[in-house]
Structure 1
Amino acid sequence: MQKYIYIYGINPVVESLLNPTMKLNKLYLLSTGKHNDYYLKLAQEHHLEVVFCSTDKMTTLVETNKHQNLVLEICKPENYSLTTLTKKALQSKHPFLLVLDQISDPHNFGAILRTCDLFNVDGVIILDKRQVDINATVAKTSAGAFNYVPVCRINNLTNAIESLKKQGFWIYATSLTTKVQKIGELKYDTPVCLIVGNEGTGISSKLLKHSDFNIYIPTTGHLDSLNVSVATAILIYQIKMLQQ
């Protein structure tokens, strides 16, 4: 498993440098960078190794030229156990966990993490395989939210769902192919676990069978589905508003 990941771009890098819980390794700077004094000050506060290099070197490291001449090498965020994640969530006024069923696009995963941070989702549960993990693109798209949203990687989502149900969570899955209810027709006055599915195939039939409710977002346009990160944002916002 990859030990380090690269964070790039001004906002994600600065957010990581200002986060005291981050485990940092190296900061890559352009020797002629305009704001190097500020970045060097932050690096010094962390006793962080600074490497001056070319723009091309940074592009090679992060596999994109959109790094804004600022790259940070960090230790990969810790993996929370399901037990730890659940215990933390149940301390919230409205416990809310999100399960991602094999999301493959790093931009979608990053955008989902950003939404989770903005609306205080207690944690995200993903598979440890067949699912994009936190990488440079995810970190960039999340705008630093990956620093704050606990992620639990497991090898069996069905077992995780059954464990959550035993601890009082009600399971809500998004589906357009089975009997469904509009998201606004339900109450969310118990611990909530929301499942969203893969960009192409949606939620697996096995997980749908283990859910308590299948819900959908009513729309009035010509298309029949939303981008998964957009749909997740709407679902989280709607559920959070109904909990108030």
Structure 2
Amino acid sequence: MNKRKSNPRNHQQRKINPKQNPRRNSSKHEDFQTVEGRHAVRESILAGTRKVREVNMSEGLDSGSIIDDIINLAHELRIPLRKHSKSKFKSMTTTESAQGVQAICDPLPDLGIEDLIEGTDNPFILVLDGITDPRNLGSIIRSGECAGVTGILLPRHRSARITPTVSKTAQGAIEHVPIASTTGIPKALTRLKELGVWTVGMDMSADSDIFDLRIVNEPLALVLGSEGKGLGRLTRERCDLTVKIPLFGITESLNVGAAAAIGCFEIARQRLTKVKR
């Protein structure tokens, strides 16, 4: 059993109205969200961010620590646990490999920009402008959470949404970092400035290197653009400054997921270094 303990008060299970049976409505994202993959399902239960309505499993799963955790947590928290034939389970899932486990959950909290600032001493926000590949988005969320990002901001349009693929790729990180949405990134950057947050865009055409950034101990938002085009013109213009990752090889650019990981951990490194001084 995983050593982390869930807070039972975060997981009090209400009786489900038969008309709102999660299996019947699991495809309706406005009512419920599905989480697939062993790590992602376990984290959805442990985090207590939202109610887990039920857990579905495929028959014939090999026993392992994560599967045992999920089963024990479901029993402990009285979350309905249902087993299905392999063919039935496959028909219920949407990711390429759900690893035999699926959770039906309430939607993640609907947050705005101010929610990412409130109650945070030194915000470190990741702003993603137009990431359209779900796996890229999931990977970036996972890297950001590991680097200590305190919030993530996504546009409501022209961007990948939080889907089972994103959740699975993020390995459950979406349960641990607040994710807000906004109608437009340029306008959101203006609002962040009003709230006292420095906005730093990552752009390969920038003159300054991210390693020379000197404002990491201030409230900060790191802004990344889309996979192919990078930062849009308006987004770039609204940033307080732009920085680049210096490249020393022949290849001209990095995948946005790699760039996000480098950027987030460089800011984390600088913050940690300054704290130790």
**What's the TM-score once normalised by structure 2's chain length?**
0.80
Residues 98 and 124, structure 1, Cα contact 8 Å, conserved in 2: yes
Q: Deviations over 1:64-103 (max 9, x none)?
A: 34122111111221122211212233x23xx211110010
1:185 paired residue among 203, 208, 212: 212
The answer to whether structure 1 residue 77 and structure 2 residue 108 are counterparts is: yes
Distance 1:84 1:65, change over 3 A: closer
Map 1:158-197; keep pairs closer than 5 Å.
Answer: 158-177=186-205, 179-188=206-215, 189-197=217-225
The answer to whether structure 1 residue 219 and structure 2 residue 250 are counterparts is: no
Distance 1:38 1:186, change over 3 A: closer
Give the residue type in structure 1 aligned to 2:125. Answer: L
Q: What is the DSSP-based 3-state SS (H/G/I as helix, E as strand, rest coil) of the residue aligned with 1:129?
A: coil
Q: How far apart in 1 are the matches of 2:93 and 2:58?
A: 15
Q: What is the DSSP-based 3-state SS (H/G/I as helix, E as strand, rest coil) of the residue aligned with 2:149?
A: coil
The answer to whether structure 1 residue 122 and structure 2 residue 167 are counterparts is: no
Once the two structures are TM-superposed, the CA of residue 17 in structure 1 deviates from its matched residue by 2.3
Q: How far apart in 2 are the matches of 1:129 and 1:182?
A: 30
Stretch moving more, 34-43 or 132-141: 34-43
Distance 1:98 1:65, change over 3 A: closer
Q: Deviations over 1:128-167 (max 9, x none)?
A: 1211111111111111111001001111222211111122
Distance 1:39 1:120, change over 3 A: closer
Q: How far apart in 2 are the matches of 1:208 and 1:39?
A: 44
Q: Deviations over 1:101-146 (max 9, x none)?
A: 0100111111111112112111011111211111111111111111
Q: How far apart in 1 are the matches of 2:124 and 2:44?
A: 25
Map 1:58-207; keep pairs closer than 5 Å.
Answer: 58-89=89-120, 91-92=121-122, 95-177=123-205, 179-188=206-215, 189-207=217-235
Q: How far apart in 2 are the matches of 1:186 and 1:37?
A: 45
Q: Deviations over 1:41-80 (max 9, x none)?
A: 3222222222221222332222234122111111221122
Stretch moving more, 73-82 or 208-217: 73-82
Give the residue type in structure 1 aligned to 2:209. Answer: K
Q: What is the DSSP-based 3-state SS (H/G/I as helix, E as strand, rest coil) of the residue aligned with 1:12?
A: helix
Stretch moving more, 151-160 or 53-62: 53-62
Q: Which runs of 5+ in 1 are unaligned?
A: none
Q: How far apart in 1 are the matches of 2:172 and 2:95?
A: 18
1:9 paired residue among 37, 53, 71: 37
Q: How far apart in 2 are the matches of 1:80 and 1:139?
A: 17
Q: How far apart in 2 are the matches of 1:112 and 1:25?
A: 27
Stretch moving more, 49-58 or 226-235: 49-58
1:231 paired residue among 239, 254, 259: 259
1:47: which partner in 2?
78
Q: How far apart in 2 are the matches of 1:104 and 1:215?
A: 22
CA RMSD of aligned residues (A): 1.8
Q: How far apart in 2 are the matches of 1:130 and 1:239?
A: 27
Q: What is the DSSP-based 3-state SS (H/G/I as helix, E as strand, rest coil) of the residue aligned with 1:88?
A: coil
Q: Which runs of 5+ in 2 are unaligned?
A: 1-28
Q: How far apart in 2 are the matches of 1:47 and 1:54?
A: 22
Distance 1:235 1:38, change over 3 A: closer
Residues 96 and 123, structure 1, Cα contact 8 Å, conserved in 2: yes
Taking every aligned residue pair, what percent have the same amino acid on both sides? 28
Stretch moving more, 73-82 or 230-239: 73-82
When you count strand as a share of all residues, which structure comes out higher? 1
Q: Deviations over 1:158-211 (max 9, x none)?
A: 22111111222111111124x421112220232111100100111110011111
Residues 6 and 61, structure 1, Cα contact 8 Å, conserved in 2: no
